[in-house]
């Protein structure tokens, strides 16, 4: 991590302490913010948001610079040093891809994983989150951008790679077995777990990317990285929206479709669907604690246990304090790592519903129980004729995928807003 990122991180921690001190003083004196304090509180929170954006941009910029240096090293004939890029097979694949991009080969290029891919380790936000282990093959770079775009993939969903796209049946658990005391020589009651099935198909997602002829012929440009970023983001945005709210009708089933209720907000809260007042029992931070404990311990102990909410909801939760005056939101002290609530990481996704009446604005639980099926690799196709009049080369990226929650016993729970 660079000195710039470290200084930004230190500034973020300092601003957080200022905001915390401001709120603590008002709480200790049992009063609301004065006009000047409210203005300072808004300014500090705005600065926190801005710092979050800058830190992420700096870290991504450092990674882009590293990728560009790798590309220039390859042009100079120097071997790549990153894991997963070396060896004759990797060099051959890169050569074939560059030949395809220049239009010197076939019009279709199948991008397949070179081996088993652990999608949970592909975050490039920091070295600790997997930045030092991301292979530089085109497929893995593309999937890394998919993960950066989709909060569900970041959360540790279980990913199934299949070579083809036929429908596969995944058993889903709807109820667990139970036991009871049995008297001597008495009959033992039968209690079988209840199962169902989830059908995972392969819905097709696609995007067109047009590139100028000049960009293709400019050997100083990391074209592989550019296309991986553009295609990964486009496919990730489309698929990511369905992993949250998809209803299963000609699209994947999103987590909110099958997740069960864990906590419900008070009616007549301000804003409607919000968390109410901490001065009232069962409201404020109490609701998040209720949601936390509505998920049973084995799921909470999972490495894939997360909070998921929209940025606007995160802004509201960030201000909530317990009855002891402690903020329930805890900022991360490690660059690139998410903040936490009750010790569990918080991820944000713009596709999560905003706080509103009857809206499922927060999801919490074990996201490894959400299965994502990817059928085959990513198919790239090239056309020199599609935008011939503008001297643009068109690339088409296609991905086939489906998803569904397979454990319906309460692996993921939601906070639902009350009514007016």
Q: Do 31 and 117 fall into the same domain?
A: no
Q: Does 71 share its domain with 143?
A: no
In a shared domain, residues 55 and 189: no
> Does one domain contain both 244 and 300?
yes
Pick from 21, 54, 78: which residue ends a domain?
78
DSSP letter assigned to residue 31 = -
**Statement to judge: residues 125 and 246 lie in one domain:** yes
Do 49 and 186 lie in one domain? The reply is no
Is 340 part of any domain? yes
pTM of the model: 0.67
Give the model's pLDDT for residue 125.
Answer: 37
Could you tell me the end-to-end alpha-carbon distance of the chain, in angstroms, rounded to an integer? 48
Looking at residue 219, its pLDDT comes to 60
Domain that holds residue 70: 1-78
Q: Flag whether 104 is in a domain.
A: no
Which of 27, 62, 78 marks a domain boundary?
78
Asked if residue 84 belongs to a domain, the reply is no
Q: Are residues 144 and 241 both part of a single domain?
A: yes
Please check whether residues 115 and 69 belong to one and the same domain. Answer: no
- So what's the pLDDT on residue 285? 92
According to the model, what pLDDT value does residue 251 have?
93
Report if residue 156 sits inside a domain: yes
Q: Where are the alpha helices (DSSP H) in 29-114?
A: 35-75, 87-101
Same domain, 254 and 320: yes
**Are residues 69 and 127 both part of a single domain?**
no
Within a domain: 93: no
| Token pair belonging to 315 | 């802004």
10 Å Cβ neighbour count for 220?
Answer: 9
Q: What is the pLDDT of residue 310?
A: 94
At 213, which CATH number? 3.30.2400.10
> What's the pLDDT tens digit per position in 168-190?
888 776 666 667 777 777 788 77
The answer to the question of residue 101 being in a domain is no
Return the pLDDT at 194: 64
Instruction: Count helices and strands (H / E) in the chain.
Output: 11, 15
How far apart (Å, rounded) are the C-alpha atoms in residues 249 and 405? 15
Do β-strands 344-348 and 305-309 pair in parallel, antiparallel, or remain unpaired?
Answer: parallel
Q: State both tokens at 233.
A: 């983001």
Distance CA 268, CA 252 (A): 34
The answer to whether residues 301 and 366 belong to one domain is yes
Q: Count the domains in the chain.
A: 2
pLDDT of residue 114: 52
Residue 45 lies in a domain: yes
Specify if 137 maps to a domain: yes
pLDDT in tens, 113-154: 554 444 433 333 333 333 333 334 677 777 777 888 889 988
User: What is the DSSP track for 194-254?
Assistant: EEEEEEE--EEEEEEEEEEHHHHH-TTS-HHHHHHHHHHHHHHHHHHHHHHH-BSSSSPBP
Q: In the block, which residue shows the tokens 């496919």?
A: 235
pLDDT along the chain (420 residues), means of 10: 77 84 79 83 85 80 68 49 43 63 63 49 35 48 79 88 82 68 77 72 92 78 80 90 94 94 91 89 92 94 94 93 87 83 94 94 95 85 88 89 90 92
Co-location of 37 and 126 in the same domain: no
């Amino acid at each position: 991590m660079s000195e710039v990122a470290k200084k930004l991180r230190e500034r973020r921690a300092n601003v957080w302490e200022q905001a915390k001190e401001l709120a603590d003083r008002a709480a200790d004196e049992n009063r609301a913010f004065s006009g000047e304090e409210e203005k300072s509180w808004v300014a500090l929170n705005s600065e926190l948001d801005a710092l979050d954006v800058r830190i992420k941009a700096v870290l991504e910029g450092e990674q882009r610079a590293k990728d560009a240096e790798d590309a220039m090293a390859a042009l100079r004939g120097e071997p790549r040093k990153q894991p997963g890029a070396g060896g004759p097979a990797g060099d051959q694949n890169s050569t074939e891809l560059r030949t395809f991009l220049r239009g010197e080969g076939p019009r279709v290029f199948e991008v397949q994983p070179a081996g088993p891919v652990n999608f949970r380790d592909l975050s490039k936000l920091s070295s600790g989150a997997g930045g030092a282990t991301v292979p530089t093959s085109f497929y893995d770079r593309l999937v890394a951008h998919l993960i950066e775009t989709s909060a569900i993939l970041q959360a540790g969903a279980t990913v199934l790679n299949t070579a083809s796209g036929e429908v596969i049946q995944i058993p889903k658990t709807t109820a667990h077995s139970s036991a009871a005391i049995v008297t001597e020589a008495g009959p033992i009651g039968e209690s079988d777990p209840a199962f169902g099935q989830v059908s995972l198909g392969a819905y097709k997602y696609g995007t067109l990317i047009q590139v100028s002829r000049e960009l293709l012929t400019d050997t100083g440009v990391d074209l592989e990285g550019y296309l991986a970023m553009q295609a990964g983001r486009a496919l990730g945005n489309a698929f990511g929206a369905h992993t949250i709210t998809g209803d299963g009708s000609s699209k994947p089933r999103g987590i909110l479709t099958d997740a069960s209720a864990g906590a419900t907000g008070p009616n007549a809260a301000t804003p409607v669907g919000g968390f109410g007042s901490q001065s009232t029992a069962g409201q404020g931070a109490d609701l998040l604690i209720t949601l936390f404990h509505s998920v049973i311990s084995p799921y909470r102990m999972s490495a894939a246990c997360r909070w998921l909410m929209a940025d606007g909801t995160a802004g509201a939760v960030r201000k909530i304090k317990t009855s002891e005056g402690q903020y329930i939101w805890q900022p991360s002290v490690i660059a690139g790592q998410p903040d936490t609530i009750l010790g569990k990481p918080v991820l944000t996704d713009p596709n999560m519903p905003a706080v509103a009446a009857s809206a499922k604005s927060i999801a919490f639980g074990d996201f490894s129980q959400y299965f994502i099926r990817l059928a085959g690799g990513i198919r790239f196709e090239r056309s020199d004729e599609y935008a011939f009049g503008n001297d643009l080369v068109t690339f088409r990226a296609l991905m086939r995928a489906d998803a569904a929650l397979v454990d319906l016993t309460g692996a993921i729970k939601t906070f639902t807003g009350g009514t007016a």
